[in-house]
Every structure is written in structure tokens, then in C-alpha cells.
Amino acid sequence: MIPAIILFAATYVLMLTFSKFRPYIALTSGILFILTGMLPLDEILPALDFNVLLMIGGTMGLVQLFIDSHMPERMADMIMDRMPNVQWAAVCLSLFAGVISAFVDNVATVLMVAPVALEICRKLKTNPVPVIISIAVSSNLQGAATLVGDTTAIMLGSALDMTFMDFFWYHGKLSIFFAVELGAVLSACIVYYTFRKEKAPIPKSGKLTEVTDYIPTVLLFGAIGLLICASFAPDSWNLPAETNGLICCSMLLIGLVYNFARKKNLDAVAGPLKAIDFETLGLLVGLFLMIGGISHMGVIDALAQLLADLGKGNVFLMYSIIVWASVLISAFIDNIPYVATMIPVIAGLAAQMGCDPTPLYFGLLSGATLGGNCTPIGASANITGIGILRREGYEVKNSDFFKIGIPFTLAAIIPAYIYIWTVFGV
């Protein structure tokens, strides 16, 4: 078990130190787990969550088709025509990103909404840095609201065999969606206060950007609709575990075929495929292999026992430790590997304590999702947003991020923390 812990810890340190090479570090570590026998050959495929990988890849390709259609620019025009000033435009974009992120991966959401925000800021000649940061942190918040909102939510839903509707109504109670929305209301006030000085009126042009093709928009929202429908499928249908991922990839395939037929060149297919972040997918593959290895070596069970001893049999204390430790850890470590590690830990922990694991799981998801908003490197959506700004020539200081991210996090996590325990813990 000690070699597995050393390799796992060393991998995390290297990923933090050399953030640009995280996928290669994770994949190398996963291969080392296999070569050393800490992950047996017959456990490699079971360790990989193909549903998660297919969902993320398919969604990213669909989003690129959506961007190429100029729909984001059209949305920017529509927002500008309806908002009185920059302050309300920033709040609207933040809420808009949150709504989309409840159904689409956070990184994909930032990629989709950022062009809208940049176009608005360009037309209004205002600094886009705080606007893009607000979009990123709002995307992270709403990612925990539904089954398809974020990679972490997908992983938790897959582990617990949750349907789409379970995020709204679970075990006869209002579920985690409402905890997230309670935090969203208060965090929107933070965004409103942040832009309190941006009172400049928005000029009304009355012109809307022409959308070149509405099919990508239909496909994107069609994928969301099918994901919702699939969640209602009865167990008797015996749908494959990768159903959600197959839906996203199938819709992307339809989009690629349509795009090729429309443009009649290979770039119509190559462009959307290039937009798929294969480095993120590689990172996930490496992480899944690492988690499979430490699980096989007994590290997960040992960690569960350690937490159980720390909680001293008190479920509320254990819940509090998980929530606030998740916030702190996810502020510095990407929440995807952290949640992937903790899901089996909580399963073992609940079994040892003989308690309902629901508040612990929901506490993990909310804490890890929101904790990423504390720092620029805490979540992939933050890194993506800052990368977009840098490509546009804007340098983002840590202080720029902290003054939005930290109050946003506290405003969102405190009501969620109280709600989850009140509904599921008491």
C-alpha cells in the first residue's frame, strides 16, 4: 500500500508543479500502476468510466459547431438590446452561464458563453476580465445542479446510479439542485455588487448578428433533451452504462455528417474534432487508472477508516469535515481527481459508520464544485476562462480572481451546506 500512496502523492505534486503537463503526468502514473502490478490487467477496463469520457468529448465537439454557427454573437446582441447597463449585462451573462452549465460541462459552457461576453465587452469597450471570471465561477456553481452539469456530477451520478430527476427529487426529498440554486441566488448578489460601478448605459443598435446555421443549436439542445429522456428509462430496458455518452457522441456524429454534406470539405469534420480537448480526456484516463490502482491496493479503505476515526462516529462532524475539506482542497487541486478519489472513500466510510451516505456524497459534490472557485487553478473552467483572456491579450492577476471568486464561493457554499444537512442529515 505504501508504494501506491507514494506514487499517487508524487503524481499530485507533479501535476500541481507542472500544470501544463498534467495529462502526460497522469497517464504516465496510470501506466506505472499497471506495469508495477498495482493495477492488474483485468481491472484496467473496469477502472475507466467510458460514460464520462464519451459525454465530455461529444459535448465539446457539439459546442464548437454551435460557436461556428455565430449563435453566440446573436445571443450577445440580444442581451445588449435588453440590458440597461454593463452591471446588469454582467449579472445576466453570469446567470446565463449558470443555466447552461446545469446541463453542459463547465469547460464547454465557458467556451460557449465566453465568445458572447467578449463580443459584448468589445462593443462596449469595457474590461472583459471580471466578466469572464464571473462566467467561470458561475459555471462551476451550477455544474453540481444536475446529472449532466459537470464531470464531477456525472461521476457521482454514475457511482450512485442516479437518474437525471434524482438531482431534483431524491429519496422523497428535494434534492441537491435546490441547494445549488439557493447558493446561486446569493452569489448573483455578489456579482451585482462587484459591478456596482459599471453603470454606463448600453447603446441599442437594433441589429442582430445573422446566424449562419440553426442546426448546431438544435443538436446541442436535442442532446440535452435526450439525456433528460434517458434518465426516465425504466431499468427493464437494460440500457448500457454508457448511454449518456453515446447520446452526446451520436449527436456530434450527426452534426459532423451534416456539416460535411453542407460544406463538402474535410475541414467541416476536422474543425469540430480539433476542438475536443483530448488532453483533458487523457488526464481523466490517467486519473481513472490511478484511482483503480490505489483502490486495488487498499488505500481507499484505509482512508475511509482514517476519516471514520477522525469523525468519531459523529455523522454531522464527518459531513462538516467533508464539505469544508473539499472546499479547501479543491481550491488548489482540480476537483475531478479529488472527487474521483473520494467517491469510493465515502462509500467505505458510510459502510463503516452505518449511516446514510447521501449527505456525505452531496456534501462532497457541493464542496468540491464550489471550492474550485477560490483560486484561478481550482477548476478547469477557471483555467479555460483565463486562457481565453490571455489569448485576447489580457493578463489576469491573482487578485483579480480572488476578489470575485472567494466571496462568490462563501455566498454559495454556506446556504448549500445548511440546506443539505437540514434536508438529508437530520
pLDDT at residue 254, as a whole number: 95
Q: For position 216, what pLDDT does the model report?
A: 92
In whole angstroms, what is the distance from residue 203 CA to residue 350 CA?
Answer: 57
The amino acid at residue 99 is V
Q: Which residues contact 338 (CB under 8 A, 6 or more apart)?
A: 326, 329, 330, 368
CA atoms within 13 A of residue 251's CA, in its CB half-sphere: 31
pLDDT score of 256: 95
Cell of residue 56, nine digits? 465530455
pLDDT (0 to 100) of residue 304:
64
- For residues 274 and 390, give the distance between their C-alpha atoms in angstroms, rounded to a whole number: 20
Find where cell 469510493 sits.
344
Q: How far is CA 181 from CA 41, 133, 165, 174, 415, in A?
A: 43, 19, 15, 12, 10
> How far is residue 123 CA from its own chain's centroid?
29
The Cα–Cα gap between 176 and 423 comes to 10
Closest CA to 180 of 105, 261, 53, 95: 95
pLDDT at 421 (0 to 100) = 94
Write the single-letter amino acid at 127: N
> And the C-alpha cell for 208?
442582430
Handedness of CA 257, 258, 261, 266 (dihedral sign): negative
Q: What is the pLDDT along the chain (426 residues), one digit of tens a residue?
A: 888 889 988 987 887 677 678 788 989 999 999 999 999 998 899 888 787 788 878 877 887 898 888 887 787 778 777 888 888 888 888 888 888 778 766 777 787 788 778 878 887 788 888 889 999 888 888 878 887 777 788 778 877 878 778 899 888 899 989 998 888 888 888 888 888 887 777 777 667 888 889 999 999 888 878 877 776 776 667 788 788 889 989 999 999 999 999 988 888 899 888 878 787 788 878 888 988 888 788 876 776 667 767 777 788 988 998 999 888 877 766 677 678 778 888 888 888 778 888 899 999 999 988 887 887 767 777 877 887 887 788 877 778 888 888 888 898 899 999 999 999 876
Alpha-carbon span 354 to 365, nearest angstrom? 21
- Residue 145 is predicted with a pLDDT of 86
CA 356 to chain centre: 25
CA-CA distance, 324 to 312, in Å (whole number)?
Answer: 17
Q: Are 157 and 364 in contact (CB under 8 A)?
A: no
- For residues 136 and 100, the answer to whether their CB atoms sit within 8 Å is no
Tell me the CA distances in angstroms from 257 to 224, 303, 329, one per residue in order.
Answer: 20, 48, 43
> Is the separation of the CB atoms in 356 and 318 below 8 Å?
no
Residue 128 neighbours by CB under 8 Å, 6+ apart = 117, 118, 121, 122, 389, 392, 394
Q: Which residues of 279-296 are buried (b: 16+ CB within 10 A; e: fewer)?
A: ebbbbbbbbbbbbbbbbb
The pTM assigned to this predicted structure is 0.70
Helix 243-263 to helix 267-274 angle, to the nearest 10 degrees?
140
Q: Which of 40, 66, 19, 37 is nearest to 259 (CA)?
A: 66
Rg of the chain in Å (alpha carbons): 21
Residue at grid coordinates 475511509: 304
Nearest to 421 by CA among 338, 322, 346: 322
Residue type, 240: P
pLDDT at 214: 92
How far apart are the C-alpha atoms of 221 and 325, rounded to whole Å? Answer: 36
Hey, how many other C-beta atoms are within 10 angstroms of the C-beta on 340?
22
Closest CA to 288 of 343, 339, 340, 348: 340
